[in-house]
Amino acid sequence: MRMKTIRKEEGPIAGRPVTNQRSLLLDIIRQANRHLDADELYRLAKKREPRISLATVYRNLKLFKELGLIAERKLGDTHSHYEIRGAADHHHLVCLGCGQVIEFESPFIAKATDKIKRENDFDVTSIQLKMEGYCSKCKKKMK
């Protein structure tokens, strides 16, 4: 029995060369059930592909994001985290006082997105919504 050939259109990385580095990176992100940052991903990848470079990690993160496979999270000031993009998009509310992060979903946002897509005939591959401000505790402290 012959192996079935995988044509490019069928793979998740549509129309792009499938390199070892590329599928390794996507594998790692898929199997990690958490937010990873670029450096964590780089160190995990090095275990199986020791010559991989950090630039390749960044370039592929950018590609995966553009293809809508992962979501980039910029919650703190210093660096981004990445995670597999599941069915429901969720967003973040960040308190500038104590740093707590509240995740939320919103049917209003989903509606807004649909409308935007329709009105502009756009194929939206990623949504980044972050609201910042002060939670009730931190509000009080500041008075």
Partner DNA sequence: ATGAAAGATGCAAACATTTGAAAAATATTT
Partner DNA sequence: AAATATTTTTCAAATGTTTGCATCTTTCAT
- Quick one: 35 or 91, whose CB is closer to a copy of itself? 91
> Taking CB under 7 A as the rule, does residue 102 contact DNA?
no
| Size, binding site for a copy of itself by CB under 8 A | 39
* Residue 123 contact among a copy of itself, DNA, none, beta carbon within 5 to 8 Å by kind: a copy of itself
Contacts of 28-37 with C-beta under 8 Å, sequence gap 24+, read 29/64, 29/70, 29/82, 29/83, 29/84, 30/84, 34/83, 35/73, 35/81, 35/82, 35/83, 36/81, 36/82, 36/83, 37/79, 37/80, 37/81, 37/82
> Using CA atoms in the order 14, 73, 129, 133, what is the torsion angle rounded to 10 degrees?
180
Write the binding mask 26 to 65 for DNA: x where contact by CB under 7 A, - elsewhere.
-----------xxx---------x-xxxxxx-xxxxxx--
* Residue 126 contact among a copy of itself, DNA, none, beta carbon within 5 to 8 Å by kind: a copy of itself
> Taking CB under 7 A as the rule, does residue 128 contact DNA?
no
The binder of a copy of itself chosen from 8, 20, 106, 141 (CB under 8 A): 106
**Cβ atoms 68, 48 nearer than 8 A:** no
Q: Which residues contact DNA by CB under 7 A? A: 8, 16-22, 37-39, 49, 51-56, 58-63, 77-80
